[in-house]
Amino acid sequence: MDEKVAIALESQNPWWSSREFATGIDRLSSFPQIERYMNAQEVVLIVGARRTGKSTLVYQIIRSLLDQGVDKQAILYINLDEPLFLSMADDPTLLSAIVEEHLARHGSGERLYLCIDEIQNYAYWAPAIKTLYDTKSNIKCILTGSVSTLLRQEMSTRLSGRHLSINVYPLTFPECLGFQKIQDPTIMEKRKVFGEYLKYGGFPRVVLEFDETMKMEILKNYYETIYLKDIIFPNKIRKNREIIDLLYYLVSHTGTLLSFNKIADTLQISTDTVQEYIEYAENAFLLSTLMKYDYSLKKQRTNPKKIYAVDPGLINAVSFAFSENRGRLIENVIHMALKRVYEEIYYHKGTYECDFVVRSGRRITHAFQVTQSLRDPKNREREIRGLVEAMETFHLSEGTIITEYESEKIDREGRVIHVVPSYAWLSRNDQPL
C-alpha cells in the first residue's frame, strides 16, 4: 500500500491504535432501524445534506460496534472527502486495493465493517461495492452520500435489492431540546427553543454554537458548500450565476405557489433549465418540491409547485428578514417534519388552499393547515375554509391547524379542527396525527 494512503487510513481510524475519537451527542437512538440493518447482509446507505450529521452517525455506529466487542481491526473507515482520496477518485482499483490489503494484514475470518464517507466522490464506487457484496459475504458496507441522484441511479441498477437506505435530516425540534440538555422542558422553554429553531434551524453544529453571528456565518458557509460541491461541480454547470440566482429566488419564496414558466420569465432563463436546476437542488437535499394532489399524474406535474428548504436556518441566512416571514418559516418546519414520516405529501387547491395533505395507500388520511396566528378574523376564516374544503374533498372528519402559539378546538360543519401550537405538535411522541 502506498505510504500516503496508509498514513491517511491510520489517521481516519484512530481506534486501530486505541486512540480516542469524538462521537458527538447521541443520535443513534433516533434511528432504531440501524440496529436491524446492521444485522442484515445488505449495504446500508446513509444519505442527506452536508453537515446534517451523517459522519457523526457513522462514528456512533463504530463506537457501538466496539462496545459490543467487535475487534478494532475489523472496522475500516474511509473518508473520501480527504484530499488524497479525491485525487485518486478515477482509480478503478482504489477501494478494492485498500480492502484487500487490510484483509491480508488483519485476517479475513471475522466480519469486516467497511464504512465509507461521501461515497459519491469515487467514480467507481458502485461496481466496487457490488463486487465486494457479491464475492465477500463477510464484509458489511456502511456508506454515506450527499448527492442522491448519483447514488440512487447506481443503487437502482447495479445494487438493486442489495441495499437499505436511511435519510438523515437536520435535527428535529425534540432533538434540539436534547442537544441543549433541556429535560422535561416547560412551555416557556419550548417556546424559546422553538423561536431559536425557527431562526437558526437544526444543523447540529449551529445548534451547539452560542454566538448568534457565528451561527449565521456557519449557515452561509453550509449553503455555499452545498451549491458548490453538490450542485455546481458534480453537474458541471458553467453558468454559475444562473443557478445561484435561481436558488436565491427559490429559497426566498419557500411555501409559495410557483410556476416554472413564471420563474423562467423572471430570471430570463429557459423553463427546461429551471426544471433541471431544481432537480439538481433536490438531489443535493437542499430543496424539496411539493406538488398539488390530483388523481391525474399529468395534472400533478403541470400544476404550480411549492418549494421548501431542508432547514429554516438556511432560509434566514441567505434570503429574507426573519421577523417578516415567521408564518412561512413555520410552514417549512412542518413540511420537513411531515417529510421525515410520510412518503407522499401534497398540497390541496380548490376554491381555497390547504397546505398539506398526506396520502397513505390509495387515500388521503390527514390534512394540515399552517399559519402563524388565527387572531386576524379574515386570516382565520381563510385558513379554516381551506382546511375544511380539503376535509370535505377527502372525506376526513378531523383536521389540524398548526400555529405558532395558539390552541383551541373548532367544530365546523360536523368536522373537528384541532388548533395546536407548533412546539407542542413537534414535541408529540406520536406526531404527526
pLDDT digits (tens, 9 = 90+) for 357-402: 999 998 999 999 999 999 999 999 999 999 999 999 999 999 999 9
Q: Work out whether the CA dihedral 392, 397, 403, 406 comes out positive or negative.
A: positive
Same domain, 222 and 321: yes
Q: How many domains does the chain have?
A: 3
305 and 430 fall within a common domain: no
- The pTM of the full predicted model, rounded to 2 decimals, is 0.93
CB count, 10 Å around CB of 63? Answer: 17
What was the pLDDT predicted at 321? 61
Cα–Cα distance between 243 and 274 in angstroms, integer? 8
The residue whose grid cell reads 459522519 is 55
In a domain, 370, yes or no: yes
> Do 347 and 299 fall within a single domain?
no
The span from the CA of 136 to the CA of 128, in Å, is 12
Position 413 in a domain: yes
> Which of the 8 DSSP states describes residue 30?
G
Q: Of 395, 391, 423, 393, which Cα lies nearest the Cα of 407?
A: 423
123 and 257 fall within a common domain:
no
Bridge partner residues of 306 (DSSP): 257, 290
Same domain assignment for residues 192 and 152:
no
**Of the residues 116, 144, 167, the one at which a domain ends:** 167
**C-alpha dihedral, 34 to 38 to 39 to 42, nearest 10°:** 110
Instruction: Answer yes or no: do 117 and 186 share one domain.
Output: no
CATH code (residue 108): 3.40.50.300
Residue at 217: amino acid letter: E
Are 105 and 74 in a shared domain? yes
Taking 70 as the pLDDT cut, the residues of the chain under it are 108, 148-156, 320-324, 429-433
Output the domain CATH number for residue 296: 1.10.10
| Same-domain pairing of 363 and 261 | no
Which of 119, 141, 167 is the endpoint of a domain? 167
One-letter amino acid of 70: V
Tell me if 158 is assigned to some domain: yes
- At residue 49's C-alpha, the angle toward residues 47 and 50, to 5°, is 110
> Residue 149: its pLDDT value, please?
57
* Claim to verify: residue 162 and residue 177 sit in the same structural domain: no
| Long-range contact pairs involving 185-191 (C-beta distance under 8 Å, separation at least 24) | 190/423, 190/424, 190/427, 191/405, 191/423
Shared domain check, 149 and 48: yes
pLDDT at 147 (0 to 100):
76
Tell me the one-letter amino acid at 230. Answer: D
**What does the pLDDT read at residue 284?**
93
Q: Domain containing 129: what range?
A: 3-167
